[in-house]
Each structure stands twice: as C-alpha cells, then as structure tokens.
Amino acid sequence: MLRRGRFGRPMDAMASEYTSSMQVDVRLFSPVVQINAAHTVMLAERKIISPQDAAAILRALCDLHAKGIKALELRPELEDIHMAVEEFVVATTSEEVGGKLHTAKSRNDQVAAAIRVALRLEILEIRAALLELVGSLTALAEKNVSTVMPGYTHLQIAQPTTFAHHLAAHAWAFIRDLERLELVYVQANSSPMGACALAGTSFPVDPIRVARLLGFKRLSENTMDAVGSRDFALHTMAALAILMSDLSRLAEELVLWSSAEFDTIEMPDEFSSTSSIMPQKKNPVVAEIARAKAGRVGGALLAALTVMKALPQSYSLDLQELTPMLWDAVDQTKSSVRIMSRAIGAIKPKVENMRRRAEESFAVATELADTLVRDAGLAFRDAHSVVGRMVASATEAGKSPKDLSFEDLQSACREVLNRDIQLSEVKFRPALNLERCVEARALPGAPAPKAMRAQINLLKREMKIRKKLVRAEKRAILKAEEKLLKLARRMSR
C-alpha cells in the first residue's frame, strides 16, 4: 500500500522478512486497534473527517476488536501490524473511507503509543507479581521470627540471626524494585500521539483528547522526542534487570540451602526435578532457571543500550529491533517473579538444621566480645582479640561452643592482655546463648523477634499502599479502554 506512489518494485522477500516486525507485533494488536479508534473519534469530533466516515471506520475497528487478531492477514510484506490493521479497515470500508484513517497520524507516533499502551499493563502485572512475592516472603517470615539460623558474610557463618530476618532482607530489596517500577510506570504512561512522523501536523488535532481516551496521564512535550526516544524502554529494562539481580540472589540461596551440605530447606517435589536415581537429589530447577534468567534480562538491557547508542534523531528502524528485547525482559521477569513467589510459598525450612548449624559454629563470638566491652570495660579491639584467642584455642582443642568455660575466657585474656578480666561469671553463659543473642539485637531492623514483628508490619504497610496504587492505576486504564470501546460503538451506529 505504502509503496504504490513511490517504488517500482516490491521488496526483496528476504529483506522483507528481515525487516518486518509482524511476528513480534502480535502483542500490539489490541493497543493498535484502540489507538486507531481513539484517533478516529478525535478526528470526527474535530470535524477533520465526517461523522459518516468515522462511523464506517469505527464499525470496522469494533468488528476487528471483536474478531481478534485472527481476522488479520499477517503477511511480512505488510511490514507491521499497523499496516495490517489499516488494510483491514480499507478492505472492510473502501479505499476512500479507510484511506482517511491515517489522516494526521503516522506509524512513528502510533508505534510509540502502542508499545506504551502494552507496556503499561505489563508493568502493572509485574508490580502485582512482585507484591505477591513480597507477600510470600513476609508470610514465611512471619512463621519464622523465632527460627534461629546462622547469618553469613563471605558465605562464612558470622552471627546468629533468624530465618525471618534473612527473608525480610530480600523483601526490602523487592520493595525498592517496586518503587523504581512506579517511576517507570509514570514515565511510560505518556502519550506520543499527535507527533505524527516527527513534526506534528497542520490538522487541528486534539492530542489531549486522544491521550485521555487511551488513559494516558502525560503528553509528550516535543513531537520529535515523542517518536525518536526509547529511554522509557531502557528505563523499564534497567529496572527489570536490577529486579532480576535481586531475584537471582534469592534463587542462589534456595540452591545453596537445598544442597546436602546446607540442608536447611526442603524444596517440595512440585518445584524440583530429578535427573538421576539418588533420592536425596531433588534438583532445585526453578531456582536455577530464575538465577540464569537474571543474565538474560541483563543481556536484553545491554543489547538495547547498544542499539540506542549514537542513534541520531528522530525515528530509525533500529528502534523496532529494540522492542522484542523489551518484551523478552518483561516476559522473563514476569514469569520468574511469579514462579519464585509460588516456590517461596511452598518451601519448608528445616528448623533444627538451621539451629544446629548456628550452634556448632562460633556465631555468638561477637556477642561475647560485646559483653566484654559492656560489662568488663574492655576496648572493642581488645575484646575482639581476647575472644579470638579463646576460640582459636578451643578449636585447636576440638571444643565446640557449648564446651567453652569461663576459665577458657580468663586464660585467653591473660594471654592477650596479660591480666584477668573483670567480668561476673553470671554474665558469661548467657552471652553464649543463641536465643538471648538474637533477642539482644532489638533495634528496628535487627533480628530480635519483637523487632522483626514490627518490621513485618512495616512490610505489610508498604504492600498495602503499593497494592492500592497498582489497583488504582489498573482500574484507570481498564476504565479508559472500556469507555473508548463504548464510545466507538456508539459513534459507529
């Protein structure tokens, strides 16, 4: 259709397939129909086309909307879904009437608008899924505020903490991911319609009306920027790549904890596979794939950054190549967050193993040193050295933490500081008690059960606020869609 006036020959078949976006465009079907409907409504309202022509076009569009994408012929030589929809309208009405559909718009603004319409909903879905995941983590944490486990640094056992505290650490990262996605949403939810090819139009269009009909909250401030920018896509992919980075860290821990060596969670059969005949061998495949997907989403971001690098204004076809990367990042993230949310909801902590590991290590050593500072007046660095020496001797002698005696401490003190320590023996034993040690860390954010309950309440409040926002934003765009279709149907009569 486009080549009629200008070109003698059709496009080379291989070139046509290479440059067509038809296959990927499938997910833009509904947005493209909506955009055409909103545009037509506005054209009629502004008397740029006649009510009769508008009615005929809207009839065709409503018809197409009802029939779905299978009504379209998706030949690659039509280049993209935008031309396929226009062709349908022309075929259903006439060359003359259907030929008016593209008045005062261009594929350039329409492509950008369609991606944004489709993306808005995806971001909301990912935010909803992320809230589910935070919910799963919070629910599991709530059951485990008193489940003592070792806290790690450098993958070495460092200090006792609780399973709840550990799970909540991940939850807060996801809350920040949500916060980022909220800005992503705001920036994506802006209408480029009216920008046409790049310089706007001399028709008296009403871009604000079109934006409202499509449920957009903002309007592009510059028509060249409207068609030539994709930073909203880069921004989305960046937020998703960071989210997946956070998710991969949780996934890694599921893999570690499922190993025979850690053995601190039970991954249920439904989320495991077996590839061999060993019964202890339940492969944590969901976590493995989620971990790997972080690479995939990061790669998509990088690919997109490379595509955009040094691209002059305004629209170039390179931008088309960026869109599948965006959808891949969206799809991989969405499914990963959803499945991890289910997996977290299903894992069973092996509470005794967690506690035993914490107990067998010298995880309480810090607390003992702190006690020496607090109750025996030692400088922190001295206390650090005394306890270090005590534990070194214990290890050499094959003693485990529970075998330690007050005398061991005194003798270490003599070795290091050349004097006895001034500590009442009653203070010594409790310092080695895991539960006491955890309970003593009672400031906001720390693992003490009481503090954790407060932290969980904070998480719940965050979820509540953010869920409400997701719901409100979803409602707004669905309502706009419904209203638009109703209006289109009314005007098509």
Please give the residues from 51 up to 80 whose contact with its own copies meets the rule CB under 8 A: 79
Active site residue 275: yes
Closest to its own copies by CB, 295 vs 483, is 295
Site string for its own copies, 412-451 (x = CB under 8 A): ----x--------------------xx-xxxxxxxx----
Judged by beta carbon, residue 282 or residue 474, the one nearer its own copies is 282
* DSSP class per residue in 186-223: HHHSEE-TT-TTTT--SS---HHHHHHHTT-SEE-S-H
Dihedral sign (CA 133, 139, 140, 144) = positive
Bridge partners of 443, per DSSP, are none
Residue 17 or 425 with smaller CB distance to its own copies: 17
Interface residues for its own copies in 311-350 (CB under 8 A)?
311-318, 320-322, 325, 335-336, 338-339, 342-343
Distance in Å, CB of 84 to its own copies, minimum: 15
Q: Does 207 bind its own copies (CB under 8 A)?
A: yes
d(CA 88, CA 166) in angstroms, rounded, equals 56
Q: In the bound complex, what is the minimum distance in angstroms from residue 68's beta carbon to its own copies?
A: 23
Residue 273 as a binder of its own copies (CB under 8 A): the answer is yes
How far apart are alpha carbons 71 and 84 in whole angstroms?
10
- Least distance from C-beta 482 to its own copies, angstroms? 28
- The smaller minimum CB distance to its own copies, of residues 281 and 475, is found at 281
- Site string (368-407) toward its own copies, x via CB under 8 A: -xx--xx----xxxx-xxxxxx-xx-xx------------
Catalytic residue among 190, 202, 275, 336: 275
Q: Which of 26, 66, 91, 183 binds its own copies (CB under 8 A)?
A: 183
Q: Does 224 bind its own copies (CB under 8 A)?
A: yes
| Residue of 70, 270, 398, 419 interacting with its own copies (CB under 8 A) | 270
Q: Alpha-carbon dihedral of residues 321, 215, 55, 32, nearest 10 degrees?
A: 10
Q: How far is the CB of 282 from its own copies (least distance, A)?
A: 7
Residues 6+ apart with CB under 8 A from 429: none
Token code pair at residue 280: 């202890």
Specify the residue, 145 or 485, whose C-beta has the smaller distance to its own copies: 145
Minimum gap (Å) between residue 305 Cβ and its own copies: 4
Q: Which is nearer to its own copies, 30 or 361 (CB)?
A: 361
Positions 233 through 262 that interact with its own copies (CB under 8 A): 234-235, 238-239, 241-242, 245-246, 248-249, 251-253, 255-256, 258-262
Q: Minimal CA–CA distance to 307: which of 243, 223, 244, 231? A: 231
CA–CA gap between residue 428 and residue 405 (Å, rounded): 9
CB of residue 309 vs its own copies: minimum separation in angstroms? Answer: 5
- Per the listing, tokens 């505020």 go with 145
Phi, psi of 316, deg, nearest 5: -130, 155
DSSP H or E segment with residue 53: helix 51-67
Active-site pick, 154, 202, 276, 424: 154
The answer for residues whose C-beta is within 8 angstroms of residue 161's C-beta and 6 or more apart is: 148, 149, 150, 151, 438, 441, 447
Contact status: 194 vs its own copies (CB under 8 A): yes
* Residue 488 C-beta: closest distance to its own copies, Å: 20
Query: Does residue 241 sit in helix, strand or coil?
Result: helix
Token pair listed for 141: 């944490």
> Does 41 engage in binding with its own copies (CB under 8 A)?
no
Please, what is the minimum distance in Å from the beta carbon of residue 5 to its own copies? 2
Check residue 220 for interaction with its own copies (CB under 8 A): yes
Is residue 63 within 8 Å of residue 69, measured between CB atoms?
no
Helix, coil or strand: residue 446 = coil
Residue type (1 letter), 215:
G
- Asked if 23 interacts with its own copies (CB under 8 A), we say no
Task: Count helices and strands (H / E) in the chain.
Answer: 20, 6
Return the range that interacts with its own copies (CB under 8 A); candidates 34-42, 64-72, 271-279, 421-429: 271-279
108 or 485: CB nearest its own copies: 108
Residue whose CB is less far from its own copies, 182 or 489: 182
Ramachandran angles phi, psi of 111, nearest 5°: -60, -50
Q: Which residue has the tokens 């690479």?
A: 295
Should residue 180 be labelled a site residue for its own copies when binding is judged by CB under 8 A? yes
d(CA 470, CA 161): 33
Q: Is residue 189 a contact residue for its own copies (CB under 8 A)?
A: no
Distance CA 341, CA 134 (A): 8
Max Cα–Cα distance, the chain, nearest Å? 102
Could you tell me how many residues of this chain bind its own copies (CB under 8 A)? Answer: 200
What is the Cα–Cα distance from 66 to 341, expressed in whole angstroms? 35
φ, ψ (nearest 5 deg) of residue 69: -65, -25
Residues 111-140 that bind its own copies (CB under 8 A): none
Q: Does 467 sit near its own copies (CB under 8 A)?
A: no
Instruction: Please name the amino acid found at residue 281.
Output: K
Nearer CB in complex with its own copies: 70/444: 444
By annotation, the residues acting in catalysis are: 154, 275
